[in-house]
Structure formats: C-alpha cells, structure tokens
Amino acid sequence: MENQILGLHHITAIAGDARKNYDFYTRILGLRLVKKTVNFDDPKTYHFYYGDKIGTPGTILTFFPWGSSIGSGRRGTRQVTEIGYSVPSGSLDFWLKRLEDHHVIYNKVSEKFGEQYLTFLDNDGLKFELTVPKNADTRIPWETDAIKAENALKGFHHITITSNKIEATAAILTEVFGYKLLEQEVNRYRFVTDTVEQANVVDLVEAPGEQVGHVAGGSVHHVAFRVRDEKVLMHFRAIIQDRGLQITEKIDRNYFYSLYFREPGGVLFELATDNPGFAIDEPVEELGQGLKLPAQYESHRDEIEKVLPKLKADE
Ligand code: ZN
C-alpha cells in the first residue's frame, strides 16, 4: 500500500507581469506566497509558489512570470486547461462579488457532477474554477484580512486535461497512478483516487476536433502528482520506464524531489515528494518574505536582485 500517488502535489503555470501576478494571487484570491525564488534554469526570472500556511502538497500553485514579451498561450489539447480550487459551501456569492469588484472576467455559477462551480480567468487568461465539493473539505485555508476561512480557497479540487482522445492518458491514471473512473458527463470523464481525501480528482475532456494548445502566458506548464518520499518516487520511475516512456533522472528542486515525463496524451507530468518542504530555508512564519536562491546562484545575489521586478510600491 505504500507505493501510492497521493493526488496532486503542485501545478506550474506561466504568467506575464510578476507584480500583477503577485497582487492577483495574494490579494484578490488570498493565497499565501510560501516561496519567492528564481527559475533554476533562468535565474533572472522569479518562481513564485502560492499555497496554504506551509505550502501543503495539493494547495501549491507556482508561476514563472516571464514578463509581457512572453505573449499569450491558447487553451487546447495536450494541456491542463482548467485548475479547480475547493471553496466552502455558501462562499460562491462572496466570490461573485469579489471578482466583480476587482474587474475579473468570470462566468455565472454552473453545476457539474452535482457540484456548483464558478469559472474565472486571471490577468493572463489562465482558467480557474471554484468548486463547492459534495464531500466536505476539512483542510484549513490561509486567511487574509479580506478573505476569512468561511470563504477562503482550501486547495485544489481537480485539474482538467483536454485531449482529442483520452484513452492513453486514462491508462496512465488508472494503470499506473491508481485512479478510477468515477463518473461521466457528456465528454467529461472524472477520475478519482481514494488514497487521499482532497486534491484527488482529474477530469479528462475528450474533444476530437480541438486544436493543440499553445503553452505561453496564461497556460499551465506542467502538473505534479504527489508521492510520499524518494523511495516511492523511484518506484514509479521504474514502472513508467517499463511502459516505454522517457522519464528524467531524479531532480533536486530544493523543496521537493522530482521526476518529469510526458504522458502519451502530451501533458508534461511531474512526480514530486512531500519532503523536505518549504520550511527548509526559512521559518514557517516568514515563508515567502525573503528571496531564496539555490546555492549555485547565491554569489550572484546582488545582480539577480537588481534585475528582478519589484513586487510592492515601497520595495
Ligand atoms: Zn513542478
């Protein structure tokens, strides 16, 4: 039983302007910035991690804000096309008003699989759903002055992957990751794992005529599934290799260990560990406050800090 996929770990997306991204997620949505670091492959751009108080796996949304020159992506196949957050029962009216007040593009409340949800787009066009789950979500959310626990985002509810044909992706979910097909509505197939209570849903949408998506600003770069530790990580590496898929070596991401592979439906999947977590280089109370650099860039801190955009007017 110990070699399990424990639902979603994090989702990484591409943004344009860093300051607008920081403002949208911390102030308008009320998430906590749990880590401010740089792209390890391109240290002159930020890598932001937003989540709950400690950045619990299943709550972590990360961004590479590459500036406005990155251009806009386009939703389509071979992509994660929606990110679903779980919100408390009775909170959708609060969110309708808040999105309206802040000039966010949103849609009226709708329902699927017996759950009400509200769709909106961030500054760069990244698509979200706030879902009131059928089963109570007991996770404790991060609170801000404007967004208290009765309304706050609790972490991920689901992701949606769009494909011309879902079969090959469904096989990875069911045969490798231990998910089961729970329900189907029209062309949307809902897969769930029972290894965890939350962040355990993947929807596959089959759209035969849909074009391939373009990954740029406002689109998801990859999705990471959660494993307990490096031993489980390497267990899955062997299984994925045995299926004839290319997979990376284990990579140290400072806050977790990772493997990446492209699933046969074209989406970049990552597997990421619970250990060591975000408190490894700053105390929980101070998460996200300092700019954290990996060891190889520490000697370049001054020049890196000079080129990174300021996130607040008084910085
Ligand atoms: Zn990742």
Both structure tokens of 66 = 């590459």
- Under 8 Å CB-to-CB from 275, ≥6 apart: which residues? 228, 229, 230, 256, 257
Q: How far is the CA of 236 from the centre of ligand 1 (A)?
A: 16
Beta bridge partner(s), residue 298: none
Q: What is the mean pLDDT of residues 265-277?
A: 98
- Supply the pLDDT for residue 106: 98
Residue 193: pLDDT over 70: yes
Where is average pLDDT lowest: 65-69, 218-222, 225-229? 65-69
* CA 142 to mean position of chain CA atoms: 16
Q: What is the mean pLDDT of residues 69-76?
A: 94
Place of tokens 């062309």: 187
CA of 98 to the centre of ligand 1 (A): 29
The number of residues in the chain equals 315
- pLDDT band per the 50, 70, 90 thresholds, residue 224: very high
Ligand 1: centre distance to CA 12 (Å): 6
Confidence of residue 2 (pLDDT cuts 50, 70, 90): confident
pTM of the entire predicted model: 0.97
Determine phi and psi for 230, rounding to 5 degrees: -70, -30
CA of residue 279 to ligand 1 center, whole Å: 18
pLDDT band at 68 (very low <50, low <70, confident <90, very high): confident
The β-bridge relationship of strands 180-185 and 219-227 is unpaired
pLDDT of 233 reads 98
Domain 8-307 falls in which CATH fold? 2,3-Dihydroxybiphenyl 1,2-Dioxygenase; domain 1 (3.10.180)
The pLDDT value given to residue 183: 97
Distance 34 CA to ligand 1 centre (A): 15
> Ligand 1 centre from 270 Cα, in Å?
6
pLDDT(1) > 90? no
Distance between CA atoms of residues 79 and 160, nearest Å: 8
271 C-alpha to center of ligand 1: Å? 8
Diameter of the chain by CA atoms? 55
Residue 313's pLDDT is what? 66
Q: What is the mean pLDDT of residues 243-267?
A: 97
Question: Would you list the DSSP string of 232-277?
Answer: HHHHHHHHHHHTT---PPPEE-SSEEEEEEE-TTS-EEEEEEEEE-
Q: Please state, as a whole number, how many other Cβ atoms lie within 10 Å of the Cβ of residue 92.
A: 18
Q: What is the mean pLDDT of residues 57-76?
A: 95
What's the CA-to-centroid distance between 299 and ligand 1, angstroms? 25
pLDDT, averaged across the chain = 96
Per-residue pLDDT band for 314 (boundaries 50, 70, 90) equals low
Q: How far apart are CA 53 and CA 140, in angstroms?
A: 9
Residue 161 pLDDT class (50, 70, 90 cuts): very high
Count the neighbouring beta carbons within 10 Å of the beta carbon of residue 87: 26
Amino acid letter, residue 289: Q
**Cα 109 to ligand 1 centroid, rounded to whole Å:** 30
Burial class (CB in 10 A: 0-12, 13-18, 19+), 313: exposed
Q: What is the mean pLDDT of residues 192-214?
A: 97
Q: How far is the CA of 13 from the centre of ligand 1 (A)?
A: 9
Question: What is the rounded distance in angstroms from the CA atom of residue 214 to the CA atom of residue 76?
Answer: 7
The β-bridge partners of 233 are none
Query: 149: CA distance to ligand 1 center in Å?
Result: 27
Residue 187 has pLDDT above 80, yes or no: yes
Q: Please tell me the predicted confidence (pLDDT) of residue 315.
A: 62
pLDDT tens for each residue of 21-51: 999 999 999 999 999 999 988 999 999 999 9
Q: How far is 236 from 5, CA to CA, in rounded Å?
A: 9
**In angstroms, what is the span from residue 301 Cα to ligand 1's centroid?**
23
Residue 312 pLDDT: 81
Average pLDDT over residues 266-270: 98
